[in-house]
Each structure stands twice: as structure tokens, then as C-alpha cells.
Amino acid sequence: MTSLPWGAMARLAGRRALFALPVLLTVTFGVFAIAAASPFDPVKAYAGNAALGADKETLDRLRSNLGVDEPFTAHWWDWLASAASGDLGWSSVMRQPVAQVIGERLVWSTLLCAVAFVVAVLLGTMLGVLAARRPGSWLDRTVTSLAYVLEAAPVFWIALLAIWLFALQLDVLPAGGLTDTASEQVSAGQLASHIVLPAGVLAVSQLPWFTLYVRQGVGDALTEDPVRGARARGLSERTVLLGHALRSGLLPVLTLIGSRAPELITGALLVESVFSWPGIAAATVEAATAVDFPLLAALTTLATAAVLIGNMLADLLYGLFDPRVKLSEM
């Protein structure tokens, strides 16, 4: 690993930030346009059951108060101007400021994704290295076959299977939620037991990609001349594998970190819905069905920013760990 070129890193981050600005503007504009074309009625979603017995005059008055009849471009521009000053607006479906909705839920979504991602990377690296040590062996065939099966399995199917097995049949883990039913306070013990299934399912959904990438990268590295030279010098197989092949074989995985961010976010939304995890999934669904412009735009912008940041971190890591890559050229 080379010394950290802080200047090159700052220039790369600056270029990516300039690129991210028009992307975020386009995404938010698209969110408002799609929401405006949605068949859902935001007035009825806001009024709830009261809308069933309300007359047309009352609904029209509520529609005027909510500004639903205004063009979506006006909604988008007003939200954009407020967001630029730090005000993300008011969520009509949640009945609270958008910033508060995100602040209350983002921490749980971030915790879930972070735990799942770390588990997927560590377990995928271990399985990939074990499979690459002896290509064609029973272990290699087993790991590879299992990775392809999990790669094709929908994440919600894995989640339902996990609930059936661990919560219903074995009764060793809770089926969902953040705490026990009778408890209102979140304790460390309850959090640890309740996060196992959702984080495990999300990790399993990402595991095949890391396993296959590490297996391919380490397998190719074992056939390269530097590794052969290390073996010829009499170094132990452990040193050759961990000190030479693994370092070279993990380089492609760095690019995978950024590319898996969109699917990680999508998988997290499905997992949170199945396990009733109090993250941003429920807020996203409710914002979409209720055509809650401010909340939907903020959540979509947040997800887009997470993807862009993931891609930038992947490029930075690749440039730092691979001396052949110059950050100034990325």
C-alpha cells in the first residue's frame, strides 16, 4: 500500500461532488414527475378513513390547502429551495417534519446495512479463499454451487424461509421488530437478538457476489508469477495465500463495494418490510402510496447520495491499494 495522496483524493472527491449535483437534481425532478403521474390520491391518503364520508367541497378545500392542484414543477422548485436552506419540508403522511422522520429511522437502517455488509464481506472473503485454494475440489464445487443458488434466490424468499425456520420451527430468534412486544425500551440484548435475522438475510443476499469475486481473484493470483516466485523461495502456503494472493485477489472486490450499494439499499427495503424493522422502508412505501412529495424526494435523494458515495469510496480504495492506478486519472 502506498502513502495516502491526500491532494489527489481531495480532487477526486471534488470532481465526484460536482458530478453528483446534476444527478441529484435530475433524480429529485424525476421523483416529483413520477409521483404526479401516480394513480394514488394524496388527499384521500392524508385524510384516511375520514375521506370516505367527506363531501366533495371538503375534499376540494383540503386539496387546495395541500397544494395538490399545483403543477409538480412548482412542488419540486419549492422543495428544492427549502432543502437548500436546510428545510426538507413537512411530511403529510407522517404528520411530522421530514428531517425528523429520517432522523428517527435512518439510524436503524444504517445499522442493519452496516452489520449485513461487514458479515457479507468477511464471510464471502473466507469462503472465496477456501474455494480458490483447491480449484475443482469438493469444497470449491460446493461453495460455488451454493453461491449461484443464493445469487438467484429473491431476498424476500430468503427472509420468509428464515422466519419459518428460526422463528416458527426452532423458536430461537424473534420473527421481527426491534424489541419484544411488551417492551418499549430498546436494550442492547433485545437489539442483538432482533437484528440477527434481518441482518443475516441481507448479508446472505450479498454473500454470493463477494464469494465469487474473491474466489476468481485469488484463483487468478495464485497462477501469477509473483506468487509462483514466493512458493519457489520456500515460503509457507499460508504466507503465500494470505500475504500475496489474497492482497492481489481482493483488488476487484474494492470495485464491487460501490456497485453493490444499489442492491444493498433495495434489499434492505425488502428485508425491513418483511421483518417490520423500523427503518426507512415503511416511510418510503407510505410516502410513495400517499404521494408525499417532500418525504419521497428526501428519501430518494438520500438513497442516490449513498450510491454515489459508495462508488466514490470504491474508486478511492482501489486507487490507494493498487499502485498501478493513479487517482488523478480517475
In order of start, what are the domains of the chain with their CATH numbers? 6-329 (1.10.3720.10)
Report the predicted TM-score, pTM, of the whole model to 2 decimal places: 0.78
3-state secondary structure of 94: coil
Q: Residue 132: is its pLDDT beyond 80?
A: yes
Please give the pLDDT value at position 198.
94
Number of H helices, E strands in the chain: 15, 2
Q: Which of 162-176, 195-209, 243-257 has the lowest mean pLDDT?
A: 243-257
What's the rounded Cα separation, in Å, for the pair 159 and 146?
A: 17
What's the rounded Cα separation, in Å, for the pair 319 and 127?
A: 25
CA angle 262, 265, 268 (to 5 degrees): 150
Q: Which of 21-25, 85-89, 140-144, 279-283 has the highest mean pLDDT?
A: 140-144
138: amino acid identity, one letter? W
Residue 178's contacts (CB-CB under 8 Å, 6 or more residues apart) are 108, 186, 190, 191, 194, 277, 278
Q: Are the CB atoms for 290 and 93 separated by under 8 Å?
A: yes
Taking the CA of residue 303 as centre, how many other CA atoms within 13 Å lie in the half-sphere pointing to its CB?
Answer: 23
What pLDDT digit, counting tens, does each position of 60-114 carry?
A: 676 666 666 677 788 788 888 888 888 888 887 788 888 898 988 889 988 999 9
Q: Are the CB atoms for 98 and 294 separated by under 8 Å?
A: yes
What pLDDT digit, counting tens, does each position of 215-235 carry?
A: 888 877 777 767 677 667 766
What's the rounded Cα separation, in Å, for the pair 207 and 291?
A: 35
Between residues 260 and 107, the one the model is more confident about: 107
Mean pLDDT in residue range 149-157 = 89
Q: Are the CB atoms for 194 and 178 separated by under 8 Å?
A: yes
Q: Are the CB atoms for 312 and 12 separated by under 8 Å?
A: yes
Q: Where are the alpha helices (DSSP H) in 134-177?
A: 138-152, 155-162
**Partners of 97 in the β-ladder:** 90
Give the pLDDT band of residue 320 (cuts 50, 70, 90).
low
Please give the pLDDT value at position 318.
66
**Partners of 96 in the β-ladder:** 91
